[in-house]
Structure 1
Amino acid sequence: MTPPREPEPLTIAQIADRAGVSVATVSKVVNGRTDVAPDTRALIEGVIREHGYRRQKRAGRPAALLELVFHELRGMYGVEIFNGVQRVAREHRLAVVLSELQGSHTPGRGWVEDVLARRPTGVISVFSGPTDDQSHQLRSRGIPFVLLDPSGEPGHEAPSVGANNWSGGLTATRHLLGLGHRRIAVITGPPHALASRARLDGYRAAMDMADVPLDPALIRTGDFQIADGLTHTRELLTLPHPPTAVFACNDGEALGVYQAAAEAGLRIPDDLSVIGFDDLPPAPWTIPPLTTIRQPLSQMATAAATMVMSIARGKEPPHNRVELATELIIRRSTAPPRG
């Protein structure tokens, strides 16, 4: 028995007929125009979500753009990612459009309309991701998107590129344990961030495998900011049994740890060992140079851009989730504890 054929997606004219609106109105919604009443837009998007949308063969080609969306643009993290995306964009003679979500991890209501109006070749969303409705709108218009270093667990339909954060957290903590440290503090990123949770889980696994009891007082929740390292280390150093080492879950927090140690008159690594995560360009130039876990941000960005270009050309990526390896970079901020 022949299985029933899947119904074909609708053309603009068929969507207009189903929604009871004009073809021009549907065309405005499909192409991201904002001059459509919200209720009418929602009605048309509902028809598209239910039946799909078939772009006319004579429609113009996508613009020669890659849309790079950051939840927040700050520091060398964004520079490393831009460089990786630009490498692929240059090969394909595409321009890179940068946008920033002002700290939000999901784009606002008007974002997707702007993207649809630009009709880029693809979208790369960094430490953020579109909502389910926005994802459907991009897919229905044939605009591929990839999540890079996603803040949450990526959905099964969303291709993503990240680093092996659990392994990195495990390696960082094992390095400190191998030097003889037992009072090891960790300053994490935000609890909602997938990378932060994975690095903390790696820390816990290393401590457990070494039969070192976890002290809740040594586990501090940060937000991947320099100020977190400063504030939490100030508090950690006032404990009756302060840590002899700190695992900062990004290099920025490690800089805050350095500042707090200097305020307390402690020398790194003689009095306090510090290890970071990222290996951004300033890490070798801190005093002393920072031991850290290298996260290959530029290569991750290149992989995400390559994946977008592959999808844009009609080739599905062999893997929906790509994880690149992290690497321990030993410099001079870690040493055995005193005594």
Structure 2
Amino acid sequence: MSKENYNVIGVMSGTSLDGVDLAAICLKIENAKWSFEITDSETISYSDAWLSRLKNAVEFDNLELIKLNRDYTILLGSIIKDFIEKHGLKPDAVCSHGHTVLHQPQHGFTLQIGNLPELADLVAQKVVCDFRVQDVRFGGQGAPLVPIGDRLLFSGYDYCLNLGGFSNVSFERDLARIAFDISPVNTVLNFYANRLGLPYDDKGSIAASGKIHGEMLSALNALDFYRKPFPKSLGFEFVRESIFPLIEKFDTTVPDVLCTFIEHAAMQTALALPGQSGKMLVTGGGAYNDFLIGRIKHHLPKMEIVIPDSKILEYKEALIFGLLGVLKLRNEINVLSSVTGATRDHSSGVIYG
């Protein structure tokens, strides 16, 4: 499949559990340069029952994971099929990330559910999916995968920062793309907002009402992960095993926890960048957190921070997984060893249908 124009559907579910992001995308390549248009987009929220299953999946045994994978593939198939029918789409392919429930590249293992072959039958389309497994098999972290899209679609920025369940950044250095996870963000912020009966802290207003807990902040900043060289990536296991137990040692209020953790995430963002000036594209749900953005600006006063229109802000990852799928169909490199640590660049993913 080698042509100049592709109509695909990018599908992404992130660790912040906002729901399933779907984007209908037109991708064009002309004179070796890619361009895109997001024509239709939608986020389908999870039911309370599904939220509970996905939150607890890290504790599941093998049989429970197998059942979860089957059930989630059926759910995802239904969501994608409804999206196609609603918008009258005729895609060349559906390019789906699935949902990460386990990510342990240090043990040679990563699991994204919803990537079973049955997905192609359920949506009656060609499906490209399961983009991370091959990279882990090649000795990589299986993450981040978005940087190839940052290079091909957003080259006008010095840095591309995503503030999702975890934050990650990508940039060019010495003619190589560098990228890595920085810290947890919404996985922690949403967890503590949930304790107040809220799905999230709208615009960071609760965090803004709190105070920084100095001892907690110092302990968070002292975690070993932040001293590790890249490539490096994070999974929910890190939050469960390192972040939550550390925070729970301190007797403080939810607003103070949120305020302190935002300060921690902002500080780690600034520390992660090799240069403190330039132009930085910021996307992901965390870009709506005004308090978080304000603290990042405080720690990076010389950086021009650009928050794009809502379609790019909310659907950038779905867009880029659409691109990854097209690159796989073209048998072109879609994963960079410079960011994952794999033994070589490669064209990752499986094609069904």
Instruction: Please identify which structure carries the higher strand content.
Output: 2
Q: Is the TM-score greater than 0.5?
A: no
Give the structure with higher Rg (CA).
1
Query: TM-score range with shorter-chain normalisation?
Result: 0.3 to 0.5
TM-score, with normalisation over the residues of structure 2?
Answer: 0.34
Say which structure, 1 or 2, has more relative contact order (CA 8 Å, 6+ apart): 2
State the TM-score, normalized to the length of structure 1: 0.35
